[in-house]
Amino acid sequence: MIRGVRRDVKYKIFSLILALIIWVYIRGEMKQAGFLDQRNKAEEQLTLSDIPIHILSLPSLDMRSISVSPTLMSLKVSAPALLTKSLSAKNVTAYVKLIGLMDGKYETLVHVDVPPGVRVISEIDRVQVTVRSSDIQTPLSGLNYSESIYTSTEKEEIK
């Protein structure tokens, strides 16, 4: 047993010293980047405004007139201070799912995707969605339609 401990002592001491050097280096880099700063561990609250509400639909609904009211939303989030410095409405995706909805008016929940480490703390809005059939012909054969995402400001009524 003692022989195993004493064998290759030089390599063991060298490995220990190398591990300490690497640990000190990484700790210094983390401190310089602000990961070890206590102020960055505290969470901050932030209100993001003017987040556009996107429409998630299937090809069968692409041939319909779709309107969402309101077209923008606000959201209150909580995140570590380091994240809130770079967080904006562009980092958040808000959308309504219109899959399976027929013609009519609906009140539907807005789904929100936020970056990792960010928590939504405000209640998610509900929006009014109107789906109407249009008097247009079916798409040309041979065209490939797939699932589409439109922003509510980009989607125009099809006449």
**Domain range annotation of the chain:** 2-36, 41-151
Query: What tens digit of pLDDT does each residue of 47-57 get?
Result: 888 888 887 77
Give the pLDDT of residue 39.
53
Sign of the four-CA dihedral 25, 28, 32, 37 = positive
Lookup result for tokens 């209640």:
123
Query: What tens digit of pLDDT does each residue of 72-112 get?
Result: 888 888 888 777 888 888 888 888 887 776 777 878 888 88
Average pLDDT along the chain: 74
DSSP of 115-144: -TT-EE-SPPPEEEEEEEE-S-PPPPTT--
Give the pLDDT of residue 78.
86
Q: Is 82 left (phi over 0), alpha (psi -120 to 50) or beta?
A: alpha
In b/e form, how buried is each residue of 91-122, taking b as 16+ CB within 10 angstroms? ebbbbbebeebeeeeeeeebebebeeebeeee
Place 131 in a pLDDT band, splitting at 50, 70 and 90: confident
Sign of the four-CA dihedral 73, 89, 56, 120 = negative
* Domain 41-151 CATH class label: mainly beta
Report how far residue 95's alpha carbon sits from residue 71's, in angstroms, rounded to the nearest whole number. Answer: 10
What's the rounded mean pLDDT across residues 143-151?
Answer: 43
